[in-house]
Amino acid sequence: VLGPVSAVAAQFGALLAMRSILNLGGDAAGQLFLLDAVSLKWKMIDLPKDPGCRTCAAAAA
């Protein structure tokens, strides 16, 4: 992994945390963000909740 790519991922994670803390925009829970560093395009994938998971299954109920 190239250093600048991990820096982008870390800063993006910090941005998502700040958005959540400040209640700006939606919640990124249940979403996976993928960065293609060659094309510089982001892809977002919605992850399904796991019915057996104590955290996300309880939040959905």
Indicate the SS3 state at residue 42. strand
Using CB under 5 A as the criterion, what x/- string covers residues 17-56 for binding Zn ion? ---------------------------------x--x-xx
Residue closer to Zn ion by CB (options 41, 54) is: 54
Residues in a beta bridge with 45: 32
Q: Tell me how far apart the alpha carbons of residues 42 and 53 are, in angstroms, rounded to a whole number.
A: 27
Q: How far apart are CB 8 and Zn ion at their closest, in Å?
A: 26
- Residue 31 tokens, joined: 């979403």
Contacts with Zn ion, residue ranges (CB under 5 A): 50, 53, 55-56
